[in-house]
Amino acid sequence: MKKINKFLAVFLMVLIMLPFTSCSKEEKVTLNVYNWGDYIDESVISEFENKYGIKVNYETFATNEDMYVKIKSGGTAYDVAIPSDYMISKMIKENMLQKIDFSNVPNYKYIDEKFKGLEFDPNNEYSVPYMWGVVGIVYNKKMVSDPVDSWNILWNEKYKKQILMLDSQRESIGVALQKLGYSLNTTDKDKLEQAKQELIKQKPLVLAYVGDEIKDKMISGEAALAVAWAGDAVFMKQQNPDLEFAVPKEGSNLFVDCMVIPKTSKHKKEAEMFINFMFETEIAKKNTEYIGYSTPHKEAYKLLDEETKYDKTAYPDEEVLKRCEVYKDLSDMLKEYDKIWTEVKAAH
């Protein structure tokens, strides 16, 4: 009797769990797309779904590091992700990305040569540049009386509790490093220690360390100064004409976010279809207009309205770009950055 009961219990359990495990093969393909928050015109996704009959499961992340940890832990099998430059080289090194078959992505020809063959993907095998831009300071002209041309202003006592910093380690440590006149890709422990001290010194002046909320806060005048990505600055300036954007003279970060296909993807063909679709000229234009970041798509750029095309925030001069550095993958030194950031955040 006892044995039968045991058997029944197990059998019941298996029955209950069956519906969760069954894999129906005939079902439509679902693409898992993993992107930065607020970094796509979502109507473009439905256009893709309608055109190809592929369902898109769209998820977002707040920092490159978040995305890396999630893909590495392998919970969801993402088919398309949009990391930045340094994270791409890290993922290539760790064998996390698939080579893209460019015969399936003919629209790659529209990408400006400037953004091909960059250091993170020298042979153009793994990535398709999606958007680019620079990091700088957004400020409210009514609240800031000093000229904003240096990172030093973020350490100015006058603006105590009116400064917003990005809650992202590379960006914030980078700001401190450049303030000190060092490279964004410093691996020297002493210099990093100095940067840490700078950030701790700055902490009492900082109103908050935030991510996408920066946009709302700056638009509604909650803060006077914020570190921000140029693309977001374009949007903020549209919403609040008192805001202005500047790239500090010490230099800044130039980033290129690209579409990649992680190794976890089971639908490489569909993923390539998705990438190709995103670079259809009309789609790229629509998407660029929505996001406000700078497009590497030559034809889409030409179609933008005059005001955007000559907007120095989104498309800065060569002279500004020369000051900017692209992040490099720091490999093992990244642990040091992790530690510094943890300590800065924990300090009081």
Q: Binding site membership for spermidine: which residues?
A: 86
* Residue 341 engages other proteins in binding (rule: CB under 8 A): yes
* Residue 69 engages other proteins in binding (rule: CB under 8 A): yes
The answer to whether the Cα torsion of 34, 35, 40, 42 is positive or negative is: positive
* Residue 206 engages other proteins in binding (rule: CB under 8 A): yes
* Residue 209 engages other proteins in binding (rule: CB under 8 A): yes
* Residue 208 engages other proteins in binding (rule: CB under 8 A): yes
Candidates 223, 174, 234, 162; CA nearest to 198 is 174
Q: Figure out which of the listed residues 43, 109, 146, 347 binds other proteins, where binding follows CB under 8 A.
A: 347
Q: Figure out which of the listed residues 59, 222, 242, 325 binds other proteins, where binding follows CB under 8 A.
A: 222
Which H or E element spans position 341? Answer: helix 334-346
Q: Figure out which of the listed residues 40, 45, 65, 225 binds other proteins, where binding follows CB under 8 A.
A: 65
- Compute how many residues bind other proteins; rule: CB under 8 A: 35
Strand 254-259, strand 206-210: pairing: unpaired
* Residue 23 engages other proteins in binding (rule: CB under 8 A): no
Stretch that binds other proteins, among 95-103, 140-148, 257-265, 340-348 (CB under 8 A): 340-348
Q: How far is the CB of 74 from other proteins (least distance, A)?
A: 13
Q: Please report, as residue ranges, which positions from 24 to 43 form the binding site for other proteins (by CB under 8 A).
A: none
Q: Figure out which of the listed residues 220, 239, 282, 312 binds other proteins, where binding follows CB under 8 A.
A: 220
**Which residue ranges are tagged as binding site?**
86
CA 34 from chain center: how many Å?
Answer: 11
What is the rounded distance in angstroms from the CA atom of residue 129 to the CA atom of residue 37? 17
Give 81's strand partners: 34, 260
Task: Decide whether 13 or 114 has the Cβ nearer to other proteins.
Answer: 13
Task: Decide whether 144 or 320 has the Cβ nearer to other proteins.
Answer: 144
Residue that the structure tokens 């990535």 belong to: 127
Task: Decide whether 170 or 297 has the Cβ nearer to other proteins.
Answer: 170
Give 228's strand partners: 136
Q: Residues interacting with other proteins, by CB under 8 A?
A: 1-2, 5-6, 9-10, 12-13, 63, 65-66, 68-69, 72, 161, 167, 169, 203, 206-210, 220-222, 332, 338, 341-343, 345-348
